[in-house]
Amino acid sequence: MRVLVTGALGFLGQHTCEFLHRDGVTVVGTDLAADARDADAGDRVLLDSPDEYFGADLSEPDWSGSCSEVDAVVHTAGLSRPWGKPEAFHRANVVASQRVAEFCVKRGIPLVHISSPAIYAHGANALDLLESTPVKKDHGTNGYSRSKAEAEALLQRMRTEQGLRVVTLRPGAIVGLGDQATAPRVVQALKRGWFPLVAGGRALRDFTSVENVAHAIVLSLKHFDGAEGRAYNITNGVAVSIQDALTLFCKELHLSPRRVHVPAWVAWTLAAVLEPIGRLIGWEPLITRFAVRRLVYSRTLSIEAAKRDLDYQPSVSLEQSVERYCLGTTI
């Protein structure tokens, strides 16, 4: 079997290549970098390289020009940031997903699409959310989550109208060796010597070890026919409070930052003031309303559907992921 992995040089993409190789799959990779050995990958932990590779901008109509024959596509590429221009998120997450889906329709091959539980915008505690949870479009939803929701809706339309065959995975807060999004921000904040803990850090969150996501991708390809057309939450299956997650990082990094408790109303007010300023001058605010929601309200996901349909069982814990990240990263 030959599988095309988009975002092959990225955090999840590299782990996906490794797990596919373990399963005997030939991997064709693509990314924005012109070459898999490109200097742009300098800070990345190159775990495993694709068997074949080509550079491409997935948002361009002719991105697949040099792609050889493949039997399936795993779409891990995308723009994942807490702040940015709406048009950048739309191009990277909506337009690119459409181009990849068109490629799959044209070649009649299945697509495993990586989405995000960030589409479950909410303003209250929500535990064991099912995949059927409505997607809410409110002022607290940022450009990233809006674009991921739009991409999912687009692919479902293409499934209905053009016969696209797709399985969607929604992994929550991916952590592990090579992480360039979640863990680096946490570490940077801890190194200051103090850390703002909003609402006591009691909110529960789902984290997902990157190895568990890569394994879920492999399982999605194996069980594709039975899972086609559905979306699946993917997590470690154990909810962790923000305060406990920070404690894990502090333990591995041998840091003892002072924890400054910030009332929720202060965080809300600060975010409401800083966001317009950030949009005006092109600066990322220290905190956003979307971030405050994640810090104040608990949100956990049910993974029962993935267990049932994909035979998914998380095997790597958050503790192991934090340890691997800290050991493999220069702090």
Q: How far apart are CA 237 and CA 214, in angstroms?
A: 15
Give the model's pLDDT for residue 26: 96
Give the model's pLDDT for residue 81: 84
* Structure token digits, residue 131: 């995949």
Look at 171 and 41; give whichever has higher pLDDT. Answer: 171
Q: How far apart are CA 149 and CA 210, in angstroms?
A: 22
* Structure token digits, residue 291: 């971030």
Residue 46 CB neighbours (<10 A): 13
Give the model's pLDDT for residue 206: 93
Q: pLDDT band at residue 123, thresholds of 50, 70 and 90? A: low
Q: pLDDT band at residue 35, thresholds of 50, 70 and 90? A: low
Beta bridge partners of 232: 169
Q: Model's pTM, two decimal places?
A: 0.92
Domains of the chain by residue range: 2-181+205-240+299-316
Q: pLDDT band at residue 279, thresholds of 50, 70 and 90? A: confident
Q: Are 76 and 68 in contact (CB under 8 A)?
A: no
Token pair 């924005």 in the structure block, residue? 32
Q: Are 184 and 325 in contact (CB under 8 A)?
A: no
* 156: Cα separation from own chain's centroid: 19
Q: What is the pLDDT of residues 303-328, one digit of tens each?
A: 999 999 999 999 999 999 999 998 87
Give the model's pLDDT for residue 104: 97
Residue 246 CB neighbours (<10 A): 20
Q: What is the pLDDT of residues 201-213, one digit of tens each?
A: 999 999 999 999 9
Main-chain dihedrals φ then ψ at residue 110, nearest 5 degrees: -75, 155
Q: What is the pLDDT of residues 204-250, one digit of tens each?
A: 999 999 999 999 999 999 999 999 999 999 999 999 999 999 999 99
Q: Angle CA(155)–CA(160)–CA(165) in degrees, nearest 5?
A: 60
Q: How far apart are CA 15 and CA 182, in angstroms?
A: 16
Among residues 48, 50, 113, 42, the alpha carbon closest in space to that of 77 is found at 113
Beta strand extents in the chain (DSSP E only): 2-6, 26-31, 52-55, 72-75, 111-114, 126-129, 166-171, 174-175, 194-198, 204-206, 208-209, 231-234, 239-241, 258-262, 299-301
In 3-state terms, what secondary structure has residue 30? strand
List the strands of the sheet with 52-55, edge to edge: 52-55, 26-31, 2-6, 72-75, 111-114, 166-171, 231-234
Give the model's pLDDT for residue 285: 87
Q: pLDDT band at residue 41, thresholds of 50, 70 and 90? A: very low
Superfamily of chain region 2-181+205-240+299-316: NAD(P)-binding Rossmann-like Domain (3.40.50.720)
Q: Is the pLDDT of residue 188 over 90?
A: no
Sort 252 into a burial class: Cβ within 10 Å, 0-12 / 13-18 / 19+. middle
Q: pLDDT band at residue 143, thresholds of 50, 70 and 90? A: confident
